[in-house]
Amino acid sequence: MTLTTMTDLHDLHDFIRRLPKAELHLHIEGSLEPEMMFELARRNGVALPYASVDAVRAAYDFTDLQSFLDLYYAGAAVLQTEQDFFDLTMAYVRRAMADNVRHAELFFDPQTHTVRGVPMATVFAGIAGALRQARADHGFSSRMILCFLRHLPEADAFATLDAALPLRTEYADLWIGVGLDSGEVGNPPEKFAGVFARARELGFHVVAHAGEEGPPAYVHGALDVLKVERIDHGVRSEEDPALMQRLAQSRMPLTVCPLSNLKLRVVKDLRDHNLARLLRAGLCVTVNSDDPAYFGGYMNANFVATADALALSSKEVVDLARNSFLAAFVTEDERRRWLDELQAFSA
């Protein structure tokens, strides 16, 4: 590498770090760092199957989505009290702010917690408490998206929605949508047609994971049956040219998570990732961290690694950040403010 290109790379990395951006695909349970896992286990008297923080990190050698989910659900068992959810969320917000994330939409999985006897209200209070404090203290903007676990029956998703609805008014400033996560293959969007129809009638925004490990047909299903407003992941859409055209023409946002795709072996090497091709085909692509404590990096790590592996230009990096604000579930005033900030930054 020549001296000039090294300087250029350094400049691009610095540019990425300072770039204002939004994160739209982040599972708050996936931001549980091993250090906090140990701390909460100690605080709550929970036994962990690991001898040390290093042993936890060593176990993060995933072969596919399910091999990750097994550890992710086990790790979440240390989350028990409102304070635990508050601390988890505040730790994420600090990392996000350090990466110049202006706005974050947090996925949370209530079923992972209610099944262990943690009340729905505890989960909401802890997460929302931290988000409100971050807004008051730092102007950090956020929303919450309740995800249904797709490996469980639709009836369980209905019960989860019913259990959360009494809290809707209290958290109207934050809880604005529902999503669909967990093991994709064998659990197509159609399985959740009823509960998504109900959520839409209630006025919630709707999103779903599709086309991460599942085929393009699942992306079609999420669009046609669930009527989602964004596709989470969606990288396998590239296998279906008609779907690609549809996504480009509708500017349907894709919340792509490059380091997640690498760690879960959706791609073998980041240089094989199709993010740049999707972007250059005119799709509304965004960069996100998914489960940063498990996949090796928060927002800026995802941006920097992707920009290096795919030789993204500074214009493309700005396009990715602009897409994140365009795809956010916020007021037009908020969107305008961030788009103006981005414009001034990149001028």
Footprint of Zn ion on this chain (CB under 5 A)? 290
Nearer to ligand HPA among residue 69 and residue 128 (C-beta): 69
Helix (H, G, I), strand (E, B), or coil: what is residue 226?
coil
Asked whether position 105 contacts ligand HPA by CB under 6 A, the answer is: no
- Sign of the C-alpha dihedral, residues 204, 149, 102, 286? negative
Backbone angles phi, psi at 278, to 5 degrees: -60, -45
CB of 241 to ligand HPA, least distance (A): 25
Of 23, 212, 316, 319, which one interacts with ligand HPA (CB under 6 A)?
A: 212
Residue 167 carries which side chain, given as an amino acid letter? L
Backbone angles phi, psi at 151, to 5 degrees: -75, -15
Nearer to ligand HPA among residue 28 and residue 252 (C-beta): 28
Asked whether position 291 contacts ligand HPA by CB under 6 A, the answer is: yes
Asked whether position 65 contacts ligand HPA by CB under 6 A, the answer is: yes
Nearer to Zn ion among residue 82 and residue 143 (C-beta): 143
Please identify the residue of the shown chain whose CB is closest to the bound ligand HPA: 181
Helix (H, G, I), strand (E, B), or coil: what is residue 101?
strand
Give the C-alpha separation, 324 to 254, whole Å.
Answer: 9
Nearer to ligand HPA among residue 209 and residue 236 (C-beta): 209
With CB under 5 to 8 Å by kind, the binding choice for 288 among ligand HPA, Zn ion, none is none
Of 31, 237, 260, 289, which one interacts with ligand HPA (CB under 6 A)?
A: 260
> Per-residue contact track with ligand HPA, 85 to 104, x per CB under 6 A?
--------------------
Beta strand 205-210 with 21-27 is unpaired
Sheet containing strand 253-256, edge to edge, reads 21-27, 101-108, 141-149, 175-181, 205-210, 230-233, 253-256, 284-287
Of 181, 236, 254, 259, which one interacts with ligand HPA (CB under 6 A)?
A: 181
Residues 199, 103, 339: CA angle, nearest 5 degrees: 110
Nearer to ligand HPA among residue 252 and residue 257 (C-beta): 257
With CB under 5 to 8 Å by kind, the binding choice for 30 among Zn ion, ligand HPA, none is ligand HPA
Backbone angles phi, psi at 287, to 5 degrees: -110, 135
With CB under 5 to 8 Å by kind, the binding choice for 325 among ligand HPA, Zn ion, none is none
Q: Which residues, in sequence order, are bridge partners of residue 145?
A: 107, 177
With CB under 5 to 8 Å by kind, the binding choice for 182 among Zn ion, ligand HPA, none is ligand HPA
Please identify the residue of the shown chain whose CB is closest to the bound Zn ion: 290
Of 141, 182, 289, 306, which one interacts with ligand HPA (CB under 6 A)?
A: 182
Cα end-to-end span (Å), the chain: 28
Tokens, residue 167: 């809290």
Closest CA to 25 of 92, 123, 71, 83: 92
Nearer to ligand HPA among residue 72 and residue 338 (C-beta): 72
Active site residues: 212
Count of residues in contact with ligand HPA, rule CB under 6 A? 11
Asked whether position 286 contacts ligand HPA by CB under 6 A, the answer is: no
Nearer to Zn ion among residue 82 and residue 290 (C-beta): 290
User: Are 229 and 208 spatial neighbours (Cβ–Cβ below 8 Å)?
Assistant: no
Asked whether position 23 contacts ligand HPA by CB under 6 A, the answer is: no
> What's the full length of the chain, in residues?
347
With CB under 5 to 8 Å by kind, the binding choice for 65 among Zn ion, ligand HPA, none is ligand HPA
Residues 192-211 that bind ligand HPA (CB under 6 A): 209
DSSP string, 250-301: HT-EEEE-HHHHHHTTSSSSGGG--HHHHHHTT-EEEE--BSHHHHT--HHH
Binding site for ligand HPA (CB under 6 A): 27, 30, 65, 72, 181-182, 209, 212, 260, 290-291
